C-alpha cells in the first residue's frame, strides 16, 4: 500500500525538506495566489515595513479598523475568498472569534526598532486593535501574522521581567517547542537568538549590552528572504500535520480530536478554515464519524408577546384562554407574559422617567453625574469627601417608587458560582441600565457633558469637540450600527449655541480660613446658559425616542438572544457536542443578566432548547434597603461619620483627623464587603466561613475590629448578622450616620 503524502511529509525533519517535498507534489497549487500574498506580507514585516494599517474611529488607544497593505489590489478577491469569516464558516470554521483584541504591534517589531531602538518594545506593546472579525484582513492578521510574529518575539519576551514565564522549566519548554524550530525554519538569526538562551551572561550586561543583542536579533530579521517566509509557512503547516498523525488511526483522525485552540489559526491561515482541504493536502480520507457543518440553523426565539394571544389563537383555531394557559405554563407565570416582555415594559417606563429627569434639570440642581452607573449605597460614598462624585442614592432617588420596585423585582437576582442557585443583585438599577445599553450611555453622557461645560468645575470637552468626544466613547457609533442614529444636527445646534452662553466665571468648590487667610480649593469656571443646551438636547432626545425607541428595545433583546442561539450551534458545529451548562452560561451571560435576572434555564427556553437542569433556587437574605443595611453594618463595626476636609487648623488636628479618616475608610470598606458575605450565605445556603469569604480580605483590617483574625471574623459576622436581624433600623442608622 502506497504511503500518503502526509505520512511521508511528517517523517521529514526540516522545514526546507518539507517545502521541497510539497513543491514536488504540487500540493499547494490551489492556494498559490494567497500563499504568495501572505509570504510577501511576512517578508515585508520582517524587513521593517508596516503591513497593517489601523483606523481609530472610536477609542484613540485601541484601533477599531484594520487593513492589510497589499502590493497588488488585483489579488484582493483571492484574499477575501480565503479569509472572510462568512466564507470560512461555510467551510466549517465555526471556531473563529466573534470579537477580541489583536496585538498588531508585534507584527511591526522591526518597524518600531527602526523608528526607536530604545523603546521598541514599549511602542509595539501599545499598538493594538479591536477590529471587525468578519473581515478578511482581520482573519488573515489573526491567523497568519500575529501568531507567527509572536513566536519570533518569544526570545525577547523571555528576557522581559513583565512578560516571561516564571520557571526555568517553562522557559526551556518554550525554547524546545517553539523558538528553536521557528528560527531554524527562518534560517537567519540563529546565532543572534542563541544569545537569548539561558546562561548566556545576561546578568552581567549593561544597557548597551542588552541593546546590542536586541539589535543583532532584529538586524537578522532584515536579512531574511522570500524563501525564509515560505519555510515559516511550512513550519506552521507542519505543526498541524504532525498533530493529525499523532491522533490518527489507520490514517484517519476525527477533526475534534486534532484541532486545538493553538492549531485553529493554522487551519484558517493555510486552508481557508477547510478541514476537507487539509485532508486533501495530506492525502487522507475523512473519518466516517466526522461531520462538517456549513450553516447554522435559524434561531427559534420563544419570547412571544401575551398581547398576541387573540391573533395566535385565531391562527391555530383554538380558544384564547387555551393559549393563555399554555403561555402561563411555559413561563410559569399567571399572566403568561414572557420575562423579556416584562423587562422591555419596565425599560420603556424607565426611559420615560430618565428623559423627564434630564429635561427638568436646572443649574440650581446638582449634576446627574453617576446616574444609575453603580449601586449608589457604598458607605465609602456616604462618609467620605468626594467633591462632585456620584452621591449616595443617585441610583434610585430620582425614580418613582413603583418603578424602583419593578427594577428590583426584574433585575434583583443574578447567578451564584453555579447556575443552580440565584443570589441577590444589589445593583439592580445598574443591571437595568446594562440591559438598556448604549442608548442610556449616550444620552446620559451628553447630559453630563453639557452640564459640566456650563456648571463646571471642569469639563472633559467643549461644545466644538463634543461630537468627537462622544464618538470616542463609542455609544454613538453603536446606536448608528443598530440603525437608531442620533440626528447630527444636534451637534450643529449645540456648537451654534456657544455664542449665547455667558462669559466664563471663576468658581471654587470650597474655602477655609487658616491663620486669617482664605484658602480656596476646587477651582474651575461656570457659564450661564445650561438650560439652553439642556433644551436642545432634550428636543433631539425626544425625537430619537419617537423614531427609534421601540425598534431599539426590540433589537436589544433580539440581538442578544440570536447571539446565544448562534453561539450554541456554533459550539456544536465545532465540538460535535452541546456545551455543558457552565459553558452555556458563558455564552449566555449578557442575555441571562439583561433579560432573565440570571436564570439560565429561562434562556434555554427562550432560544428553543430544553434546559438540562431544573430552574435555580433562590433564598433571599439581603434587605430591600441595601444602602441602609451596609450603613448599619458600618455603625455596628464602630464607624463614625467624618467629613473629609482638605485642611486642618493645626498639625495635631490634621494627624487626628487622618487617623479617624483611615479607620473610617477601613470600616466602610468592610461594611461594603458585607454584601459579599450575604451573597455567599444566599448561594451556599449557610453562613460562610472565613475560608469561603477569603482570609486575605480581612487580614489587613483585623487589628481594628479584633485582636486576631478569628476574633475579627467573629466581630465582623456579628455586625452583619445584627444588621440582618434588625433591618427595620437600617433607615434610622443611615440617616444618623450622615
* Residue 488 in this model has a pLDDT that exceeds 80: yes
Q: Give 326-378 pLDDT, tens digit per residue.
A: 444 445 555 557 899 999 999 999 999 999 999 999 998 888 887 876 544 56
Phi, psi dihedrals of residue 524, rounded to the nearest 5°: -170, -165
pLDDT, position 648: 56
Residue 734 has pLDDT above 90, yes or no: no
Q: What percent of the chain has pLDDT over 70?
A: 84
What pLDDT was estimated at residue 114? 95
Average pLDDT over residues 120-149: 95
Separation CA 96–CA 362 (nearest Å): 50
Rounded CA-CA distance 560/415 in Å is: 18
Look at residue 373 in the predicted model and tell me its pLDDT.
62
> Considering the chain, what is the average pLDDT of its residues?
86
pLDDT band at 381 (very low <50, low <70, confident <90, very high): low
Q: How many residues does the chain have?
A: 738
Say which DSSP state 177 is in. Answer: I
What are the tens digits of pLDDT across the range 429-452?
A: 999 999 999 999 999 999 999 999
- Give the contacts of 424 (CB within 8 A, at least 6 positions apart): 412, 413, 414, 620, 621, 622, 678, 679, 682
For residues 250-268, give the mean pLDDT.
95
pLDDT in tens, 469-483: 998 888 999 999 999
Distance, in Å, from the CA atom of 54 to the CA atom of 66, rounded to the nearest integer, reads: 5
**For residues 30-36, average pLDDT:** 93
Q: Are 90 and 295 in contact (CB under 8 A)?
A: yes
Predicted local confidence at residue 732, as pLDDT: 47
Phi, psi for 632 (deg, rounded to 5): -65, -40
Mean pLDDT of 500-524: 72
Q: CA 460 to CA 99: how far, in whole Å?
A: 29
Amino acid 273: pLDDT: 96
Q: What is the pLDDT of residue 296?
A: 87
**pTM of the predicted model, to two decimals?**
0.82
Asked if 244 contacts 253 with a C-beta cutoff of 8 angstroms, the reply is: yes
Q: Which residues contact 40 (CB under 8 A, 6 or more apart)?
A: 71, 226, 229
Which range, of 45-49, 192-196, 319-323, 709-713, averages the lowest pLDDT? 319-323
What pLDDT score does 684 carry? Answer: 95
DSSP string, 530-573: HHHHHHHHHHHHHHHHHHHHHHHHHHHHHHHHHHHHHHHHHHHH
**What are 514-563's pLDDT values in tens digits?**
666 666 655 678 899 999 999 999 999 999 999 999 999 999 999 999 99
Whether the predicted pLDDT of 320 surpasses 50: no
Do the Cβ atoms of 281 and 551 come closer than 8 Å?
no
Q: What is the pLDDT of residues 160-178, one digit of tens each?
A: 766 555 677 888 889 999 9
pLDDT of residue 329: 45
Torsion angles phi and psi, residue 405, rounded to 5: -60, -40
Mean pLDDT in residue range 61-72: 83
In angstroms, rounded to a whole number, what is the distance separating the alpha carbons of residues 15 and 12? 8
User: Is residue 312 within 8 Å of residue 323, measured between CB atoms?
Assistant: yes
Contact 426, 628 (CB under 8 A): no
Looking at residue 376, its pLDDT comes to: 47
Q: For residue range 661-694, what is the model confidence (pLDDT) as tens digits?
A: 778 888 888 888 999 999 999 999 999 999 999 8
Residue 650 has pLDDT above 80, yes or no: no
Amino acid at each position: 500500500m502506497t504511503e500518503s503524502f502526509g505520512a511521508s511529509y511528517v517523517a521529514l525533519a526540516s522545514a526546507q525538506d518539507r517545502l521541497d517535498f510539497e513543491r514536488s507534489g504540487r500540493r499547494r497549487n490551489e492556494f498559490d495566489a494567497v500563499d504568495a500574498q501572505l509570504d510577501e506580507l511576512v517578508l515585508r514585516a520582517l524587513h521593517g515595513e508596516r503591513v497593517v494599517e489601523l483606523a481609530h474611529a472610536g477609542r484613540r488607544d485601541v484601533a477599531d479598523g484594520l487593513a492589510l497593505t497589499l502590493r497588488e489590489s488585483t489579488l484582493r478577491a483571492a484574499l477575501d475568498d480565503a479569509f472572510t469569516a462568512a466564507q470560512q464558516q461555510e467551510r466549517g470554521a465555526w471556531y473563529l472569534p466573534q470579537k477580541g483584541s489583536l496585538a498588531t504591534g508585534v507584527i511591526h517589531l522591526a518597524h518600531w526598532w527602526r523608528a526607536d531602538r530604545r523603546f521598541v518594545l514599549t511602542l509595539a506593546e501599545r499598538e493594538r486593535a479591536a477590529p471587525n472579525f468578519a473581515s478578511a484582513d482581520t482573519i488573515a492578521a489573526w491567523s497568519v501574522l500575529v501568531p507567527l510574529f509572536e513566536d519570533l518575539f518569544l526570545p525577547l519576551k523571555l528576557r522581559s521581567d513583565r512578560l516571561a514565564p516564571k520557571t526555568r522549566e517553562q522557559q526551556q519548554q518554550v525554547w524546545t517547542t517553539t523558538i528553536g524550530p521557528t528560527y531554524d525554519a527562518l534560517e537567519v538569526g540563529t546565532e543572534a537568538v542563541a544569545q537569548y538562551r539561558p546562561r548566556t551572561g545576561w546578568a552581567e550586561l549593561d544597557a548597551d549590552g542588552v541593546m546590542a543583542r536586541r539589535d543583532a536579533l532584529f538586524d537578522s530579521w532584515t536579512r531574511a528572504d522570500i524563501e525564509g517566509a515560505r519555510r515559516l509557512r511550512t513550519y506552521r503547516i507542519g505543526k498541524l500535520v504532525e498533530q493529525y498523525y499523532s491522533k490518527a488511526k489507520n490514517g484517519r483522525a476525527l477533526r475534534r480530536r486534532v484541532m486545538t485552540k493553538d492549531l485553529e489559526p493554522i487551519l484558517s491561515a493555510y486552508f481557508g478554515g477547510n478541514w476537507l482541504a487539509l485532508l486533501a493536502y495530506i492525502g487522507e480520507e475523512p473519518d466516517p464519524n466526522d461531520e462538517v457543518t456549513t450553516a447554522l440553523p435559524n434561531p427559534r426565539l420563544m419570547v412571544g408577546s401575551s398581547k398576541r394571544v387573540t391573533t395566535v389563537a385565531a391562527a391555530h383555531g383554538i380558544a384564547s384562554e387555551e393559549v393563555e394557559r399554555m403561555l402561563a405554563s411555559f413561563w410559569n407565570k399567571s399572566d403568561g407574559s414572557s420575562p423579556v416582555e416584562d423587562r422591555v415594559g419596565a425599560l420603556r417606563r424607565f426611559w420615560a422617567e430618565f428623559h423627564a429627569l434630564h429635561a427638568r434639570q436646572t443649574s440650581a440642581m446638582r449634576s446627574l453625574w453617576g446616574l444609575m452607573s453603580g449601586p449608589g449605597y457604598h458607605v465609602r460614598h456616604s462618609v467620605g469627601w468626594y467633591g462632585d462624585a456620584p452621591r449616595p442614592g443617585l441610583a434610585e432617588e430620582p425614580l418613582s417608587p413603583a418603578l424602583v420596585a419593578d427594577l428590583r423585582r426584574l433585575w434583583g437576582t443574578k447567578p451564584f458560582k453555579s447556575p443552580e442557585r440565584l443570589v441577590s443583585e444589589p445593583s439592580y438599577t445598574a443591571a437595568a441600565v446594562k440591559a438598556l445599553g448604549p442608548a442610556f450611555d449616550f444620552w446620559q453622557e451628553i447630559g453630563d457633558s453639557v452640564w459640566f461645560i456650563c456648571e463646571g468645575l471642569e469639563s472633559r470637552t467643549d461644545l466644538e469637540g463634543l461630537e468627537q468626544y462622544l464618538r470616542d466613547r463609542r455609544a454613538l457609533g453603536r446606536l448608528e450600527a443598530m440603525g437608531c442614529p442620533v440626528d447630527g444636527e444636534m451637534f450643529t445646534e449645540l456648537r451654534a449655541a456657544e455664542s449665547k452662553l455667558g462669559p466664563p466665571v471663576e468658581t471654587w468648590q470650597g474655602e477655609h480660613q487658616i491663620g486669617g487667610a482664605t484658602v480656596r480649593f476646587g477651582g474651575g469656571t461656570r457659564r450661564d446658559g445650561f438650560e439652553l443646551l439642556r433644551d436642545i438636547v432634550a428636543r433631539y432626545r425626544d425625537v430619537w425616542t419617537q423614531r427609534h425607541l421601540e425598534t431599539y428595545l426590540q433589537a436589544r433583546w433580539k440581538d442578544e438572544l440570536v447571539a446565544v442561539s448562534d453561539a450554541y450551534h456554533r459550539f456544536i458545529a465545532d465540538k460535535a457536542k452541546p456545551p455543558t451548562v457552565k459553558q452555556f452560561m458563558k455564552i449566555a451571560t449578557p442575555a441571562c443578566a439583561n433579560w432573565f435576572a440570571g436564570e439560565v434555564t429561562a434562556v434555554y427556553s427562550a432560544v428553543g432548547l430544553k434546559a438540562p437542569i431544573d430552574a435555580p433556587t433562590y433564598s433571599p437574605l439581603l434587605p430591600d434597603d441595601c444602602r441602609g443595611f451596609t450603613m448599619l453594618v458600618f455603625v455596628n463595626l464602630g464607624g463614625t461619620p467624618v467629613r473629609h476636609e482638605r485642611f486642618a487648623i493645626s498639625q495635631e488636628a490634621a494627624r487626628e483627623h487622618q487617623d479617624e479618616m483611615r479607620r473610617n475608610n477601613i470600616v466602610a470598606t468592610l461594611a461594603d464587603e458585607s454584601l459579599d458575605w450575604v451573597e455567599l450565605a444566599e448561594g451556599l445556603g449557610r453562613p460562610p466561613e472565613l475560608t469561603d469569604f477569603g482570609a486575605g480580605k480581612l487580614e489587613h483590617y483585623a487589628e481594628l475590629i479584633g485582636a486576631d483574625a478569628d476574633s475579627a471574623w467573629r466581630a465582623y459576622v456579628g455586625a452583619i448578622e445584627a444588621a440582618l436581624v434588625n433591618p427595620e433600623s437600617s433607615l434610622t442608622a443611615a440617616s444618623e450616620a450622615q
